[in-house]
Amino acid sequence: MNISWLTDKNDYTCNTANDLKSVTVTWPELKAIPLTWTRVTVNEPQSLSNVELQFNREGTAEKSSCLNETFAEVNNKTLDRRCNDDVTITSLTLSGNLSSLCSFYISGGRNIAYGQHASQSSDWTLSRLVFRAHVAVDGNTNSRIRDGSCTHTLEEISPSWNLTLQSNYVIKRFTIYNRGDGNEERLQGFVINTYDENRARIGYYEDRSGLRNVLIYFINLKGNVNDTVNFISIRLNGEQKILTLCEVEAYGECPSGKWSLQCGKLCPASCPNTCDRDTGACNTVCFGYSNPPQCDTVCASGKWGINCRNTCNNGCFEGKCNIRTGLCDNGCMGYSDVPYCGSECSKDRWGINCSNICSQHCYYSTCDSLTGHCDQGCLSGYQLPDCTRECLEGQWGVNCTSTCNKNCYDKVCNPKEGSCNSGCIEGFQPPICTQECVIGTYGRNCLFNCSSLCVNAECDPVKGACNKCPSGYEGHACDIKMFSMELNSFGIGFVVGTLALVLVIIALLLNKTLVFHWSPRTESLAVRTNLQLKECANYDYVTDTAHQPDDVNNDYETTSTNKCYEDVLANSPYDCINVT
């Protein structure tokens, strides 16, 4: 992929590849440089928080992040990031959502040497051209000695070039440009020393490469490089040496608490040790924190980025994301490309990182990527929303929207087809019990045949009763034969006589009833006689009201009520209750 837009120093040429997730920048010729600050420019303001910065330390392959980092928002599309970890790195990697990235700048510090006061042990002159010390800090890196842009000492013992700084700086790195038109080997074995304002040595470097024709030296100092420097010395030790330098660049920064080009100004009281070294402004940017410049209040859940002003991606699981980068570290919900969560699940998958498969009972086997609900509905026999459960008893069909036929036995049916699992009630045919029994059948599931005696074999489809019987037959199944008699004079007489006899017998049964009630003779005669007389009186009343003389056949015996009294006076062992 062509990423020339990243380093073309044009902030208006930007990335056009939406799938760009990382970019690594290296500088083989420099080997390693101290990391001080970087600048990122984007074309969408929110993307400033999307960029994560990692680096490889010198001598390690493992990527690290800056632990002590401060920020300065140049504008809503440009952010400076300063690393205060004192690290020397061999590569830098940008990662995250880089779809709107435009430019990336890396600084090893400002060139402190430029324009500072320089001196050397001697000046060499060629045809009125004097090669003085100050041309090594004029910003001109031309390496042709006769163009007058390089220093040159006389041939002498241990020649030196010195630089006195206007203020104190933290200096960690040098770039030295050697002459390039011959005699390059003269610089071999040079030594650099840095000193504080009391001339105590701070940092040092000695060339032991053994290389004779090096045009540019990239140097990382050793020693107490975090201490401030006020004086720099470059020397060639030994006899009969000539020191030539075409340009010296000393990269460093203001010490903590100071700012400006000369590092002579103090930071404001509100941020006495952390102000921007170029502008003196207090830090107004917190990554993952909401309260600049202190930056110690973590973003609320669902928020991230610069001063917590961004909202986590809707695709992040539980709506949570990395407070610094906005990446969905806990996974995606309904998306597959962890941690970016920008690619939706395929139509047949859903859930965390699209790890779940839609129910096979979803229509078209597709479902909602977040919930797993079958957004196209369920196949016949299954319930919404996720089509994993069969229809409730008494329901069937697509989304279980149909009700089992009322003619199904127990109102239960097949959830997919609607057929009655237990058959039909009386009078209807399986499987779906919507049609009545065919002519000639009846009962549950129409399993029974109508009686062969039914006219046209037709009967009630529920009970099986014949709709019509042949002449001379009756009954449920037309199996009862009817008898008839021709009524002539004899027959009429026979019927009338029979009926009369029956009536007489009934009358005799009703009127000729004798009930005896036994009672031991323990009572006095007077009491018993009174009871009996009362009962006899009742009897007289009953007989008088129930049988009028004209209603009784005189051919039958009638017992007088006097008989009751006679029995009582005769001290019968039985009480006479009633005699008819």
Q: Do 36 and 90 have their domain in common?
A: yes
The residue among 108, 132, 166 that closes a domain is 108
Q: Do 33 and 151 have their domain in common?
A: no
Domain with residue 47: its CATH number is 2.60.120.260
The first and second tokens of residue 311, run together, are 């909202």
Mean pLDDT of 216-238: 93
Interacting residues of 522 by C-beta distance below 8 A, sequence separation 6+:
none
Q: Report the number of distinct structural domains present in the chain.
A: 3
Give yes or no for residue 528 having a pLDDT over 60.
no
The residue among 299 and 50 whose pLDDT is bigger is: 299
Mean pLDDT of 72-95: 87
Residue 568 parent element (H or E): helix 562-569
Interacting residues of 70 by C-beta distance below 8 A, sequence separation 6+:
81, 82, 84, 274, 283, 285
Q: Do 90 and 149 have their domain in common?
A: no
Count of residues for the chain?
A: 580
Q: Give the long-range contacts of residues 81-85, CB within 8 A, separation 24 or more.
A: 81/37, 81/38, 81/39, 81/40, 81/53, 82/36, 82/37, 82/277, 83/35, 83/36, 83/37, 83/38, 85/35
Q: Do 121 and 246 have their domain in common?
A: yes
Give yes or no for residue 90 having a pLDDT over 60.
yes
By three-state DSSP, how is residue 46 classified? helix
Q: What is the pLDDT of residue 324?
A: 84
Q: What is the pLDDT of residue 84?
A: 81
Q: What is the pLDDT of residue 495?
A: 58
Q: What is the pLDDT of residue 556?
A: 37
Q: Does the predicted TM-score (pTM) go above 0.75?
A: no
Q: Do 173 and 93 have their domain in common?
A: no
Mean pLDDT of 102-116: 89
Q: Do 140 and 216 have their domain in common?
A: yes
Give yes or no for residue 386 having a pLDDT over 90.
yes
Confidence of residue 438 (pLDDT cuts 50, 70, 90): very high
How does the average pLDDT of the chain come out, rounded?
83
Q: Do 123 and 97 have their domain in common?
A: no
Mean pLDDT of 440-460: 92
| Backbone Cα Rg of the chain | 61
Confidence of residue 69 (pLDDT cuts 50, 70, 90): confident
Is residue 298 in some structural domain? no
In terms of residue numbers, what domain contains 59? Answer: 4-108
Tens-digit pLDDT profile for residues 454-494: 999 899 999 999 999 998 889 998 988 887 554 455 555 66
Q: Do 43 and 127 have their domain in common?
A: no
Mean pLDDT of 328-348: 91
Tens-digit pLDDT profile for residues 138-156: 999 999 998 999 999 999 9
Give yes or no for residue 241 having a pLDDT over 80.
yes
The residue among 203, 219, 253 that closes a domain is 253
Q: Do 241 and 167 have their domain in common?
A: yes
Give yes or no for residue 521 having a pLDDT over 70.
no
The residue among 253, 276, 300 that closes a domain is 253
Is residue 88 in some structural domain? yes
Q: Are the beta carbons of 253 and 173 closer than 8 angstroms? A: no
Q: Do 158 and 246 have their domain in common?
A: yes
Among 345-354, 447-456, 506-515, the minimum mean pLDDT is found in 506-515
Tens-digit pLDDT profile for residues 404-432: 989 998 888 999 988 988 899 999 998 88
Give yes or no for residue 568 having a pLDDT over 80.
no
Is residue 442 in some structural domain? yes
Give yes or no for residue 290 having a pLDDT over 60.
yes
Q: Do 82 and 146 have their domain in common?
A: no
